[in-house]
Amino acid sequence: PGYSASYTYCWKRSGHGSLNVRGAIMNSCNYFFAEMGYRMGMDTLREYYAKFGLGSPTGIEIGDTAGRLPSQNEGENLAPWAAFGQANQEYSPLQLANYIAALCGGGDRYATHLLKNVRSSGSGALEYVYDAEPVETIAMSSENLSAVLAGMHDLATDGAVSQYFKNCIVDAAAKTGTIQTGDTKNNNGAFVCFAPYDDPQIAVAIVIEKGGSGAALASTAVQVLNAYFSNTSASSAITGENTLLG
């Protein structure tokens, strides 16, 4: 479709036909999201991106970045492109993982952290305790949320990356992404997923420079999920806090 004097294209130039949200996510249909962005407008897109933590620091204690939302000054003209990741947006892998965690967690977004608490080496008194309260709770209807998560699940089970997720030991949901750099031969690949689908415990974001399309990263994501869930029984044996493990 055309917006102003410019045109946007889907990776499938002929389009995917009539799609709902679930089908658009499964098929990565740029046309669908361009039209959605056009109807929503840049201000609304930016508002919801910010609610999911995009464009602001994550809270991690070892160096952080705010990333960049599509510019307010670009107005409505680039909203169709902003809706599927263009329009000069920049986000870290951690921001993407936290965004997916908030999504599959029902809308509760937490600050990312490595420290649970800090105790005084002398008295043992607590000097710092991580605040486990959400920093944002995004209001979403159960119908809308279910459609988005189901689209991600369809991608992993029946879509372009299903051949990789057949080897996953848990039922997962995923979304591909292609980060354009201006060099069509050297796009960066992005991939996000969460598992298990019906009881999310982990969200994963992978970015590989010059990795091509996000679908090419699916096998790496499956390896991460398999390693995590294969080791959960072993890691759960470590129950003591403030214990130095040799």
Confidence of residue 117 (pLDDT cuts 50, 70, 90): confident
pLDDT per position as a tens digit, 119-148:
888 888 888 888 889 999 999 999 999 999
The whole-number pLDDT of residue 153 equals 99
- The yes-or-no verdict on residue 1 having pLDDT over 70 is no
Inter-residue contact 177 to 155 (CB < 8 Å): no
Residue 172 CA, distance from chain mean position: 14
Cα–Cα distance list, 112 to 49, 129, 235, 240 (Å)? 17, 14, 20, 22
Burial of 160 (0-12, 13-18, 19+ CB in 10 A): middle
pLDDT digits (tens, 9 = 90+) for 55-111: 999 999 898 999 999 976 655 578 998 999 888 899 999 999 999 999 999 999 999
Residue 68: phi, psi to the nearest 5? -150, 125
Interatomic CA distance for residues 215 and 179, integer angstroms? 12
pLDDT at 235: 52
User: H or E element: which one contains 203?
Assistant: strand 202-208
Residue 246's pLDDT is what?
43
pTM of the complete model: 0.86
Q: Tell me the per-residue pLDDT of 12-22, one tens digit each, with 9 for 90 and over.
A: 667 777 899 99
Half-sphere exposure at residue 185, Cβ-oriented, CA atoms within 13 angstroms:
0
How far apart are alpha carbons 106 and 208 in whole angstroms? 28
What pLDDT, on the 0 to 100 scale, is given for residue 2? 46
222 token code pair = 């499956």
- Residue 7 vs residue 112, higher pLDDT: 112
Strand 126-129 versus strand 108-109 pairing type: unpaired
Q: Average per-residue pLDDT in the chain?
A: 88
The CA angle 150-218-68, to the nearest 5 degrees, is 80
Query: For position 35, what pLDDT does the model report?
Result: 92
Contact 161, 152 (CB under 8 A): no
What are 162-219's pLDDT values in tens digits?
A: 999 999 999 999 999 988 877 777 889 999 999 999 999 999 999 999 888 777 899 9
Q: Which of 221, 202, 203 is nearest to 211 (CA)?
A: 221
Higher pLDDT, 5 or 114: 114
